[in-house]
């Protein structure tokens, strides 16, 4: 059984006018996010960095109809992390 991976894309601006996309994935705890990938070079415009980050996220999906997946080995936990009764 697989579930969709919880991955976010955001744009960081470490220096004014230099934008980098970053992909973060939810860790073991829903409050923990881990950097998965990031742009190696900056963009002059925020929208360009965001679009490039979205493309990087899309590449993680083998099948665009169902998105990036991960195998579930925790059959006793539902997709939002609450134990099934």
Q: Residues 28, 37, 65, 80: what is their CA dihedral angle, to the nearest 10 degrees?
A: 20
pLDDT in tens, 15-60: 999 999 999 999 888 889 999 999 999 999 999 999 999 999 999 9
pTM as predicted? 0.78
Query: 69 and 3 in contact (C-beta within 8 Å)?
Result: yes
CA-CA distance, 14 to 47, in Å (whole number)?
16
The dihedral built from the CA positions of residue 56, 61, 63 and 68, taken in this order, carries a sign that is negative
pLDDT in tens, 69-81: 988 765 555 555 5
pLDDT in tens, 1-15: 789 999 999 999 999
Q: Give the residue from 23, 80, 74, 21 showing the smallest Cα distance to 51.
A: 21
């Amino acid at each position: 059984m697989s579930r969709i991976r919880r991955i976010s894309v955001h744009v960081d601006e470490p220096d004014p006018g230099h934008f980098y996309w970053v992909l973060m994935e939810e860790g073991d705890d829903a409050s923990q996010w881990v950097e998965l990938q990031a742009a190696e070079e900056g963009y002059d415009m925020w929208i360009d960095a965001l679009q490039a980050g979205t493309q990087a996220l899309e590449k993680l999906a083998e099948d665009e109809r169902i998105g990036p997946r991960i195998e579930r080995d925790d059959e006793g936990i539902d997709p939002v992390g609450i134990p099934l009764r």
